[in-house]
Structure 1
Amino acid sequence: MARLVIVSNRVASPKERAAKAGGLAVALREALSEQGGLWFGWSGETAVDAPAAPKIVRSGRVTYALQTLDPDDQRAHYAGYANGTLWPLCHYRLGLLSVRRSDWEGYRRVNVTFAASLMPLLKPDDVVWVHDYHFIPLASELRALGFTGRIGYFHHIPWPTPEVFYTLPSHAALVQDLSQYDLVGLQTEHDVRALLTYISSEARGWIGPGGIVGLKNRRFRVAAYPIGIDTEMFVKDATHAQRSEDMRRLRASLAGRTLAVGVDRLDYSKGLPNKFAAFDNLLERWPEHRSHVTMMQVAPVSRGEVSEYQILRRELEESGGRINGRFAEFDWVPLRYLNKVFPRNTLATLYRHARVGLVTPLRDGMNLVAKEYVAAQNPEDPGVLVLSRFAGAADELTGALLVNPYDIEGMAEAMDAALRMPKEERIERWRANMEPVSRNTIHAWCAHFLRDLGTEADAAIAGPESRA
């Protein structure tokens, strides 16, 4: 049986509890622990004259290989090219795009370093699964070093349309890098169409049935693999939340009022100022909701050292202050804004009690909060999901109220409709959402990708619902 090797920027520590680790980290760790394997990534540390070899940590059947980076290379790679160039590009925020050749060179150097450190650890029949935009060139570097085994890549964020992608000076080099993978996975069919259109029109590649691509002397496949959540676990967490101390505290604090909840990283792609503006518009146009609904926005700080994120944080604090200053009563604060990380069981409590889930990014690869909100609902009295049409999850969650996050008044109208929606319609919409959430779990996603990549690991890592 082929060994699975996972490469990602973030490596979930073997000591990190499932309640704190993200769903993807938990799923990948499970995939490896079932049959044994290697997880390679950045150690989180930098050092001048960093050691060439990664630090090896073994836990059960999983080997963790953690690479320390030169501080200048790490900055150019992570803050510079990955998050200063590729992140805004893929989220269609060209006004925030930073293009520096030094960042591109640092990005390539880190991929060269990773390949050189990983190659001695690889066996000829290993199956390598590379995750996300930090490591698009990694397959090229591994091929240059002589690795001929199967390599797959999954892109967790949106893939931009050709017109947007052309703005990147290195666009041709990145697509040539993608051609060195055997399988390229994207979140949605829209993303697949965007990449294949670029390949056929700009790169002069040919497109065959099923997303088979021919580019120069390489043949590979591009396909959509919409990522899911650990649905069974989240349903359990939400069910247990009904009797938790968190739920008791939440209900006491709301004093019988309706809760609308949003949970997003503090990132400009999430459309948080638009969401605040829509809530302000709701209270302005429908005074009957005043003193009867509370909006809670959980927004953990993300990349707090970056100036764009500091500006966003100040904007939200000022906007939240204006809303509360304008509408609050002595016994009611309309908006609760929290820059904190909460464990999964606490989030499950918030989702379970919230009559409205607000997931309104300007652009998102998938957005698993939308799926978590659906999974957390009481089937007999579910809440309503208000979802941006620009989130990848909108393709699957057909029972949501879809909104355009740039249309503030339209979002306010959707919030009002969600707050007034009768139980029968709420149940019908929830069932339509829950079907794909139950079927396309994180375990099924892992199994599907690895099966298509050509490894036998899929049977070992399938979730309980797949083994029945």
Structure 2
Amino acid sequence: MQDPSAAPVVIVSNRGPLSFVTEAGRPVPRRGSGGLVSGLAPLVESGRASWIAAAMSEADRAAARPDGVATGEGLQVRLAEFDADLQRRYYDEVSNSTLWFTHHGLFDRVRAPAYDADWRASWDAYRRVNEVFADLVVEHAPAGATVLVQDYHLTLVAAAARGRRDDISFVHFHHTPFAGPSDLEVLPPEVRAELLEGLLAHDTCGFHTERWATNYRDCVRRFIGTDAATFASTLNSDLQDLRHVASGPACIRAGAELDQLVGDRMLIARVDRMELSKNIVRGFDAYGRLLERRRDLHGRVVFVAACYPSRLGVADYRRYRDEVVAAAESVNQRFGNPRWRPVELAEDDDFPRSVALLQRYDVLVVNPIRDGLNLVAKEGPALNVRDGSLLLSTEAGSHSELAPAVDSVFPFDLEATADAMERALDRDPAERSRLAGELRELVARRTPADWLSDQLAAAGEVAH
């Protein structure tokens, strides 16, 4: 077998580095953003790697050539196509409504989960989608390739490919938290075993922190009775690219609009998908508690939350969106007046505005219930120009890196979160500057290329 650290690479993920939108009747490519694409795309551009992903839209399908390959923005991706029912079952019912909830500890066990024949049909669909990805790997991977499988959507790919391509090395990287045994036991025993055996079919599995790697090994020992190879590697955004975007005209305009909205008030900010694990409602509730006891802050602070709806195909997410809106409105009704709205909630996905918020905040709230990493906690300090403070949940994967320079919050404690907001708002300029400088140094230590190198090195270590 070829040394995996120098071998050709195949990247396998649910979403690819390109998405397409229809303009004037034609599919137009849009390059993905974020650390995943930043870390992996250079390999594709250099010709060393190929990428396999799912077609997520009609525009994606229209962009693919007869051989299934779509190109644009200097990249190409081989797209796997699935019918609407298979996609819904694999993506909404299993990946998002079951596995995401399991790994983030979101189930209310009094009511959910409840597995029936329809859910088991969805698990069959999940298995089938993974088999299709495996078929594409078997057919198209170069000899001796290292296959980098990304995230919880695709845990069974290596198991489905093993035996047909023994020349291939498989690395799985799990971007979410990994459930401990007490959370993973909510899965049906046969599904739990298939999931873990699927991950064990990889040569090694990576996680953003050692905490999630330990959870995985504990699950394997308890439910399978063996040991598992793991590694931990944190991911950063491409900060140079992010700063370049921040200096562009769209972000400058968004910054001017934000200046007009905020004025001379102190700015508390958050930038999130409206995702259950992000804990947005408790963040607003904690802010309300702060305003109850600090009347002097009325009119002097504003909480601007850029929270765009996500996964609205899942009923729990639709309900949560309504709860987020209601929580923001409750604070405004209790404390606002004609001259001051304590909370400004923006629901549209406006990237320049999100960047402007990260540049301008005095306090950034990142308080997830549980999070595999959370890149906003790194992007904020890198972009911020006001020596802003970071409130960071102890349950975020990035907390283990950034803890010395943040205001740590336990995500379920409203009073402690309000205390942390108060402490950050009252912090003297010298201390703000010291902590912000330390944060900037911490988030600059790694690049997306380091994360990629860790995956390839882990594959090489297992091979040897």
TM-score normalised per structure 1: 0.87
Q: Which residue of 1 aligns with 2:212?
A: 191
Q: Which residue of 2 aligns with 1:342?
A: 350
Give matches, 1:231-250, under 5 Å. 231-238=239-246, 244-250=252-258
Q: Which residue of 1 aligns with 2:370?
A: 363
Q: Which residue of 2 aligns with 1:6?
A: 11
Instruction: Tell me, yes or no, if the aligned pair for 1:85 and 1:98 is still in contact at 8 Å.
Output: no
Instruction: Tell me, yes or no, if the aligned pair for 1:33 and 1:60 is still in contact at 8 Å.
Output: no
Instruction: Tell me, yes or no, if the aligned pair for 1:39 and 1:62 is still in contact at 8 Å.
Output: no
Instruction: Tell me, yes or no, if the aligned pair for 2:306 and 2:354 is still in contact at 8 Å.
Output: no
| Structure 1 position 385, deviation (Å) | 0.2
What's the secondary structure of 2:444's corresponding residue?
helix
CA distance in 1, matches of 2:121, 2:434: 53
Match of 1:423 among 416, 422, 429: 429
CA distance in 2, matches of 1:271, 1:432: 26
Instruction: Tell me, yes or no, if the aligned pair for 1:54 and 1:68 is still in contact at 8 Å.
Output: no
Q: Which residue of 2 aligns with 1:125?
A: 144
Query: Is the aligned partner of 1:388 residue 2:393?
Result: yes
252-261 or 131-140: which moved more?
252-261
Q: Which residue of 2 aligns with 1:30?
A: 42
Q: Which residue of 2 aligns with 1:463?
A: none
What's the secondary structure of 1:2's corresponding residue?
coil
Residue identity opposite 1:372 in structure 2 = E
Q: Which residue of 1 aligns with 2:22?
A: none
Give matches, 1:313-332, under 5 Å. 313-332=321-340
Query: Is the aligned partner of 1:179 residue 2:200?
Result: yes
CA distance in 2, matches of 1:184, 1:115: 17
CA RMSD of aligned residues (A): 2.4
Q: 1:319 to 1:29 in 2, by over 3 A?
A: same
CA distance in 1, matches of 2:249, 2:212: 36
What's the secondary structure of 1:330's corresponding residue?
coil
Q: Deviations over 1:397-446 (max 9, x none)?
A: 12110001211111011001010001221122223322231012222111
Match of 1:86 among 63, 75, 99: 99
Q: 1:98 to 1:393 in 2, by over 3 A?
A: farther
Q: Which residue of 2 aligns with 1:290?
A: 298
Instruction: Name structure 2 gaps, 5 residues minimum.
Output: 1-5, 20-27, 59-63
Instruction: Tell me, yes or no, if the aligned pair for 2:30 and 2:73 is still in contact at 8 Å.
Output: no
Q: Deviations over 1:271-320 (max 9, x none)?
A: 01101101111111111111000001111110112211111111122222
TM-score normalised per structure 2: 0.88
Q: Deviations over 1:193-225 (max 9, x none)?
A: 11112223332214xxxxxx3xxxxxxx20111
Q: Deviations over 1:81-136 (max 9, x none)?
A: 11111000000012254542112111111111221233211222111111001100
**Which stretches of structure 1, 4 residues or more, deviate above 3 A after TM superposition?**
14-18, 58-63, 96-99, 235-243
What's the secondary structure of 2:56's corresponding residue?
strand
Q: Which residue of 2 aligns with 1:466?
A: none
Match of 1:377 among 379, 384, 388: 384
Identity of matched residues, %? 28
CA distance in 2, matches of 1:451, 1:199: 23
Q: Deviations over 1:357-391 (max 9, x none)?
A: 0101111000001101110122xx40000011111
Instruction: Tell me, yes or no, if the aligned pair for 2:34 and 2:238 is still in contact at 8 Å.
Output: no
What's the secondary structure of 1:300's corresponding residue?
strand
CA distance in 1, matches of 2:209, 2:457: 18
Instruction: Tell me, yes or no, if the aligned pair for 2:272 and 2:306 is still in contact at 8 Å.
Output: yes
Instruction: Tell me, yes or no, if the aligned pair for 2:55 and 2:79 is still in contact at 8 Å.
Output: yes
Residue identity opposite 2:376 in structure 1 = V
| Structure 1 position 452, deviation (Å) | 2.2
| Structure 1 position 244, deviation (Å) | 2.1
118-127 or 186-195: which moved more?
118-127
Q: 1:236 to 1:427 in 2, by over 3 A?
A: farther
Q: Deviations over 1:61-82 (max 9, x none)?
A: 7541111102222111111111
Instruction: Tell me, yes or no, if the aligned pair for 1:357 and 1:383 is still in contact at 8 Å.
Output: yes
Q: 1:61 to 1:123 in 2, by over 3 A?
A: farther
Q: Deviations over 1:6-42 (max 9, x none)?
A: 1110012276555x62332233222321234211011
Aligned length: 435
| Structure 1 position 255, deviation (Å) | 2.0
